[in-house]
Structure 1
Amino acid sequence: MRRAVDAGELSATVPDDAHVERPRPGGTGDYATNLALRIAKEAGAPPRRVAELLSARLTAEPGIAHAEATGPGFVSITLDPHGTPALVAEIREQGESYGHVARDTGALVQLHTPHDLRALVVADAARRILRSQGALVRVTSDEAPDERWVEVAGVRVDAYGRPPTPLTTLRPVPPTPGGPDPLDLGPDAARWALLHPAPHDRPHTDPGQHLAQHESNPLFRIRYAYARTRALTRNAADLGFTAAPGATDASAHDLLGALGDHPTVLATAARRHAPDRLTRHLVRTADAFLAQAHTVLPLGDEKPSAAHRSRLALAEAAGTVLAGGLSLLGISAPEYL
């Protein structure tokens, strides 16, 4: 927009920022912005015309395949798929630290909880995510956690007791009274059951839901997707080829978007102390991978090609993100299911 104003194509004050988001249901492209709608009145032009001007300039930018005006004045942006090798190479280089901040930022965060299992599990996961973003974290609670909470769910606190000065308290909705004990699910499923719902939603701790080895169970889909990435690597080795980042086809579009969003998801989950954002992102990543996993290995008498090596590299990158994300939630990622 600034360049369009400098060139005399638009007459308006350039705002400090532009809101860019993933397109909503029915939208197109990788990202969308309502900037044209925001500035159209000041520019004295129809929003659609402003969106067309911005789209033309965005299309000429490196890393963008094309941009177009949509609806009453939105700009839809599609990224250049040739950036795939760089993204996959970055994930392969950083491993499960992909999306982490390289060094301590000096930020200090205090998380205080009531004496509640879910609050402590959320605080523990928030601590892990905050550490990934370079913050030093101290978790305290009104009382010492129950021994079984520590043994099964792995929660811990740095100190307990009611503070003399009130602290901001992390207060997610506790489990429904009288329901199944989440700890009976085991460490991984218990943590997932308490972390996956949004803080204002009551978690369900039904064993039939969280222990089912079925696609209806989101935790199972994530762990199955990770195990599948590891199996693909083993199977490719049996066929005599290994991964090599390269261009991908359209079937990988959703997966590439999920992998590219991972650092932003971690930063947002840390800033808002919201591990549930990471859980939903891992479900999205797993589903995007599983939708195209069948394309990775050669079929029948087909010989391994550069495309297969590229797809394998992308699959391994997905596995890295899934394993790293589960680790930040305090949940294991088995290679075999």
Structure 2
Amino acid sequence: MTPAELSQAVLSAVRSAVEAGELTVDVPERVTVERPKIKDHGDYASNVALQLAKPAGKPPRQVAEILAARLSATPGIARVDIAGPGFLNVVLETAAHGELARTIVLAGGEYGRNASLKGLKINLEFISANPTGPIHVGGVRWAAVGDSLARVLTACGADVSTEYYINDAGVQIAKFGASLQAVANGRPAPEDGYVGAYIKEIADQVVADNPGLLQRPEEEQAPVFRTEGLRLMVAEIQRSVAEFGVHFDTWFSEKSLHDSGAVERAIERLREQGHVYEADGAIWLRTTDFGDDKDRVLVKQDGEKTYFASDAAYYLDKRDRGNEVCVYMLGADHHGYVGRLKAIVACAGDDPGHNIEVLIGQFVKMLKDGVEVRMSKRAGNIITIDDVVEWIGVDAARYSLVRSATDSTLTLDIDLLTSAKNENPVFYVQYAHARMSSLRANAVDLGVAVPVSGTAEAAAAADGFRPELLATERESDLLGKLGEFPSVVAAAGELREPHRIARYLEELAGTYHRFYDSCRILPRGDEEADDLTVARLWLQEASRTVLANGLKLLGVSAPERM
């Protein structure tokens, strides 16, 4: 019996009690069942009686007694105890508990997916670094977290589109082009320009792609360096994120908002909402009406449109494309943007509590030999995505960048993350999967039938699985941990916290290692495989399946050998 099935059983008990007139309450849409921290409290616990006590007008323990009597009659439930003020502690029959292994193996890659966000269309924008240089280490964190979050939201049933916003309009692009042009002509970059080996690389490529460019007048060179340099830099960013395993459905150009007239149309739409006014020769949006610390300029006195005007047009464009929730993932230095973005939403007549979410990511530090690494060979004074991949690899980078909450500063130890030690979290989890895969291969070599999750062969062999044999404490612990996976995925999606998946996988790996050390799976010597061997192989395959499914949500490989 899975936690989801048990949750439905509890709901059925509530519904039955209401129909019988024993409880006068509205049947909730869902109830929570969890693994209790203390083993003596049963396999699962629910606080539904405490939640229903007040509307039912009865003491919680009396509500619990009503529900326990009905729940105890459910097939697969051995008994239901009432604890404390009215908690329901459920003990499953051994076979019902072990049945989870069959459920997982038959579900294969689908196990853990749920419909908690079904019908919700989400636009997820992340990284969106200025296209004036390689993605730095902070952007790498958003690459890992954003891509994992997209996978998790999709696993929860949401319709997700991922997006990179190319800031290709404005002063920084002109400075970028001027830096390329200066270096190509043998001059140092402007004082407020861009430096680093990558600038010369791109400048040389622009010259190579445009024969005779340096012989033209400087005013004719400028737009070529600006346009071609931007194209090459965006292509470089696209290569980097692709090699990092990140895919964007849309690469959206800020410049396109201006070229298409979308910025002007956005200003007029906001004016129609009654929030645009003119003062001191400029055009303003009255964002203070919606909690911003000051009103924001849309058009300057000289007629130049501001970045804020582009932000407003970009949000409206996302909504016009049918996105119900727009998630922005911004760096720590953008904390001040939260209020103004929410104000745009309110000024547009939308709900800032629903239609927009702004996630802020804190800084990342890299350590080597206990000393912080600050420099990149290629980019000068920043660490780039390519540096991180070179130092620790894609898997270690993605896993370590995702496994902590984004609102906390993160320090990555290069020496630890490249070591084959249990203290290295990605090694610890991947090694568990490799151990499971190796044991499965050994079983095949011994001629023992091994179920392979998600296959027709597994379904055909399911009748030979005896779940009631999975009766030891370590087997029960492992089954309980496996049963948590769908709720962990749902919570990670609802709270936008993919780090919950990583932490869960580490707990699962530890639970599996303890099971492996205590419960012999394969026969030794002249021993014959028996029903217990088969049952434990099903449990082992269920564990491997969940580890692989979880790693896939993080964009991390599940190796069969290490």
TM-score when scaled to structure 2?
A: 0.54
Structure 1 residues 28-37 or 78-87, which shifts more?
78-87
2:153 to 117, 130, 139: 130
Q: Which residue of 2 aligns with 1:186?
A: 393
Distance 1:331 1:40 in 2: 45
CA contact (8 A) 1:18 1:33 kept: no
SS of residue matched to 1:111: strand
The answer to whether residue 175 in structure 2 is matched with residue 16 in structure 1 is no
Distance 2:55 2:148 in 1: 46
- Pairwise CA RMSD: 3.0
CA contact (8 A) 1:5 1:11 kept: yes
For residues 289-308 of structure 1, the aligned pairs below 5 Å read: 289-294=512-517, 295=519, 296-299=521-524, 302-308=527-533
CA contact (8 A) 2:478 2:511 kept: yes
CA contact (8 A) 1:191 1:331 kept: yes
The answer to whether residue 314 in structure 2 is matched with residue 165 in structure 1 is yes
Distance 1:11 1:88 in 2: 35
CA deviation map 1:260-313 (0-9, x unaligned): 333333344334433212212222222222211242123565432101111011
SS of residue matched to 2:411: coil
1:238 to 440, 445, 470: 445
Q: Which residue of 1 aligns with 2:497?
A: 274
- Cα separation, partners in 2 of 1:40 and 1:87, compared to 1, 3 Å: closer
Q: Which residue of 2 aligns with 1:260?
A: 483
Q: Which residue of 1 aligns with 2:380?
A: none
SS of residue matched to 2:522: coil
1:211 to 377, 396, 418: 418
| 2:487 partner amino acid | T
Deviation at 1:134, TM superposition (A): 4.6
For residues 1-337 of structure 1, the aligned pairs below 5 Å read: 1-7=14-20, 10-17=22-29, 19-26=31-38, 28-41=41-54, 43=56, 45-83=58-96, 86-100=99-113, 107-113=120-126, 114-115=128-129, 116-143=139-166, 146=237, 149-150=240-241, 152-157=243-248, 158-162=250-254, 164-166=313-315, 167-170=326-329, 171-176=359-364, 179-180=372-373, 182-183=388-389, 184-243=391-450, 245-247=465-467, 248-250=470-472, 251-294=474-517, 295=519, 296-299=521-524, 302-337=527-562
Distance 1:202 1:287 in 2: 26
- Cα separation, partners in 2 of 1:271 and 1:20, compared to 1, 3 Å: closer
Q: Which residue of 1 aligns with 2:338?
A: none
Aligned identity (percent) is 34
CA deviation map 1:108-127 (0-9, x unaligned): 32101242221222111122
CA contact (8 A) 2:24 2:56 kept: yes
- Cα separation, partners in 2 of 1:49 and 1:275, compared to 1, 3 Å: same
Distance 1:52 1:132 in 2: 37
CA contact (8 A) 2:156 2:493 kept: yes
CA contact (8 A) 2:395 2:556 kept: yes
Point out where structure 1 has 5 or more consecutive residues left out of the alignment.
Answer: none
Deviation at 1:14, TM superposition (A): 4.0
CA contact (8 A) 2:97 2:476 kept: no
CA contact (8 A) 1:85 1:245 kept: no
SS of residue matched to 1:253: helix
Deviation at 1:100, TM superposition (A): 3.7
- Cα separation, partners in 2 of 1:293 and 1:82, compared to 1, 3 Å: same
| 2:245 partner amino acid | G
Q: Which residue of 1 aligns with 2:222?
A: none
Structure possessing the higher radius of gyration over alpha carbons: 2
Deviation at 1:177, TM superposition (A): 5.1
Point out where structure 2 has 5 or more consecutive residues left out of the alignment.
Answer: 1-13, 130-138, 167-233, 255-310, 316-325, 330-358, 367-371, 374-382, 451-463
Deviation at 1:161, TM superposition (A): 4.1
- Cα separation, partners in 2 of 1:90 and 1:23, compared to 1, 3 Å: closer
- Cα separation, partners in 2 of 1:256 and 1:211, compared to 1, 3 Å: same
Structure 1 residues 226-235 or 49-58, which shifts more?
49-58
Deviation at 1:6, TM superposition (A): 4.4
- Cα separation, partners in 2 of 1:135 and 1:240, compared to 1, 3 Å: same
CA contact (8 A) 2:105 2:542 kept: yes
Deviation at 1:72, TM superposition (A): 2.1
Deviation at 1:336, TM superposition (A): 1.0
SS of residue matched to 1:205: strand
| 2:314 partner amino acid | T
CA contact (8 A) 2:77 2:96 kept: no
| 1:22 partner amino acid | E
| 1:25 partner amino acid | K
Structure 1 residues 127-136 or 115-124, which shifts more?
127-136
TM-score when scaled to structure 1?
A: 0.85
Deviation at 1:69, TM superposition (A): 0.5
CA contact (8 A) 2:114 2:490 kept: no
| 1:238 partner amino acid | D
Deviation at 1:5, TM superposition (A): 4.5
CA deviation map 1:206-233 (0-9, x unaligned): 1233233222232222111111111111
Distance 2:55 2:362 in 1: 49
- Cα separation, partners in 2 of 1:101 and 1:54, compared to 1, 3 Å: closer
CA contact (8 A) 2:400 2:425 kept: no
Deviation at 1:101, TM superposition (A): 6.3
SS of residue matched to 1:68: strand
CA contact (8 A) 1:52 1:69 kept: yes
